[in-house]
Amino acid sequence: MRKILAALYIIIIICMAAATVIEKYEGTDFVQANVYGSWWFILLWAALAVLSVAFMIKRRVKNALLILLHLSFVIILLGAFITHVTSWQGMVHLSMNTTSETFFMKNAEGKVVEKTLPFKLTLVNCRTIYYPDTDIPKDWETEFMVNYETNGKVSMNNIYEYDGVRFYQSDIDEGDRGSVLALNYDPYGIPVTYCGYIMLFASLLIMLYANRGTALRFNVVAGLLTAMLCLYFDISHALQTDSDGYIIPVLNSPLFCVHVGIIMMAYSLLLLACVSSVAALVSGRQGFARFSRLCLAPSIAALCFGIFIGAIWANVSWGTYWSWDAKEVWALITLMVYAPALHVVSVRKMGNEKFFNLYVALSFLTILMTYFGCNYFLIGMHSYV
C-alpha cells in the first residue's frame, strides 16, 4: 500500500505542475475544464484521501494529534468536492437605475452562458473612492436593491449576502455609470472546508506547543527571522502599491500582510534548511543536518498557515477560497514536496542523512518556482506579487 500511495502522491504533484505550464499556452479555461475540474483529477484526490486513511488504520496510528492533522486534510478535500458539485459562480453587470434579472457564468466546457437570477437586482449607486487629492482609486463601492425591498452594499474585501448568495465588488464602469459584481453560491462546501481549516490550525498549534523541541526551534531562529521579516515587510509594502506608492484596492486587506508574512516566514526557514543541508552534504558535519531538521517542522507548519489563510482571504475578496491559480498550485506543490521529509517512519529513506539532506536541498527548487517562476513565466491572478 505504501508504494501505491507514494505513486499516487507523485502523480498528483506532476499533474498539477504540468497543468500550470499547459495553462500558459492553452489558457485558464482549458485547464479548469480538462484538468482541475475533470473527473479523473477529482478521482486522484479521492483515491489519495481514501488510501491515506487506510494506511493510517493499517499502521494503527494512535496519536490523536496526528489523526486530527491528517483528518483535517480529508475534511478540506471533502469540502472542496462539495463546493465543486453544489456551488455556482457568476458575474452580473448593473446599470444605473435599471433592474437586472440575469447573470453570466461559465459552464463545464468553459463557455460563458447567461442564466436567470433567483432575484432581481437594481443598482442604486456606485462610486470610485479616490486617495485624497489624486485620481488613483482607493476602493470601489456599490449600493443596490434586491427584489426592490432589501438594501445591499459591497466594496472591495467587503461582501454582502442574500439568501445564500454572496456578492463581491469586481469592477466599476468608467464614470461610475455601472458596476460589475461577482456572485457565489456555496452554502454547503464552505462550512465543511472551514471546519477542516479549524482542525488543521488547531492541530498544528497544539503540536508546536506540546513539542518542547519544536518550541525551542523558534529561540534558535527568531533572531534571523526578525531581520528577514523586517526586510520583507519593507519590500512587501512596495509590492502592494502602485508606482505612486498607493495601495492597490484588491490588496487593501489586513489578511494580505498576514498571509504573505507567514508564507515568507516559511520560505525563510526553508531557505535556512536548504543552506544547512547543502553545508551538511559538502562538509559531512552532522550539526548542519540537525539544524536542517530543526527548521523543517515549524517551516511546514507556517506554510500550511500561510496557504490556508490565503484561501480565507480569497474567499472574502473574490468569493472562492481556491481558484487553482498557478501560484496557489505551486504553493500546494511546495507543501506536498516538503511534507514527506517529516514522515521519517513511513518514508524510511528520510532516516538516511545523505538522502534527507539531498532531498531538502532539491526541494527548495519548488520555492524558487513558486516565487519566481509563477511571476515571470506562468500566468495567474498573483502577478502583482
pLDDT tens profile 289-332: 888 888 888 889 989 999 999 999 888 877 788 889 999 999 99
Whether the predicted pLDDT of 231 surpasses 70 = no
For 272-289, how does the pLDDT look when each residue is reduced to its tens digit (9 = 90+)?
899 999 999 998 888 888
Give per-residue burial for 78-92: e unless 16+ CB within 10 Å, then b: bbbbbbeeebebbbb
For 232-263, how does the pLDDT look when each residue is reduced to its tens digit (9 = 90+)?
555 555 455 554 566 777 777 777 778 887 88
pLDDT band at 206, cuts 50/70/90?
A: confident
For 45-72, how does the pLDDT look when each residue is reduced to its tens digit (9 = 90+)?
999 999 999 999 988 888 888 899 999 9
pLDDT for the residue numbered 214 = 52
pLDDT for the residue numbered 109 = 80
Out of 34-38, 197-201, 227-231, pick the least confident.
Answer: 227-231
Query: What Å distances lie between residue 180 and 104, 227, 258, CA to CA?
Result: 11, 42, 28
| Mean pLDDT, range 349-376, rounded to an integer | 92
Could you tell me where the beta strands, DSSP code E, fall in 88-239? 88-95, 99-106, 112-130, 137-146, 150-155, 160-162, 165-172, 178-185
Whether the predicted pLDDT of 227 surpasses 50 = no
Long-range (24+ apart) CB contacts under 8 A made by 212-217 are 214/297, 214/298, 217/294, 217/295, 217/297, 217/298
How far separated are the first and last CA of the chain, in Å rounded? 40
Average pLDDT of the chain is 86
For 187-202, how does the pLDDT look when each residue is reduced to its tens digit (9 = 90+)?
999 999 999 999 999 9
CA angle, residues 102, 106, 111, in degrees to nearest 5: 110
Nearest partner of 303 among 277, 275, 342, 359, judged by Cα: 342
Q: What strands, in cross-sheet order, belong to the sheet with 137-146? A: 150-155, 137-146, 112-130, 99-106, 88-95, 178-185, 165-172, 160-162
Helices 353-368 and 286-318: crossing angle in degrees, nearest 10, is 30
Whether the predicted pLDDT of 75 surpasses 80 = yes
Cα(304)–Cα(316) distance, integer angstroms: 19
Q: Classify the C-alpha dihedral 367-19-9-53 as positive or negative.
A: positive
Fill in the DSSP letter of residue 237: H
pLDDT for the residue numbered 287 = 80
pLDDT for the residue numbered 69 = 93
Torsion of CA 257, 262, 263, 266, to 10 degrees: 160
Note the pTM of the prediction, 2 decimals: 0.88
pLDDT for the residue numbered 245 = 60
pLDDT for the residue numbered 153 = 93
CA 342 to chain centre: 21
Cα(385)–Cα(375) distance, integer angstroms: 7
Helices 286-318 and 212-239: crossing angle in degrees, nearest 10, is 50
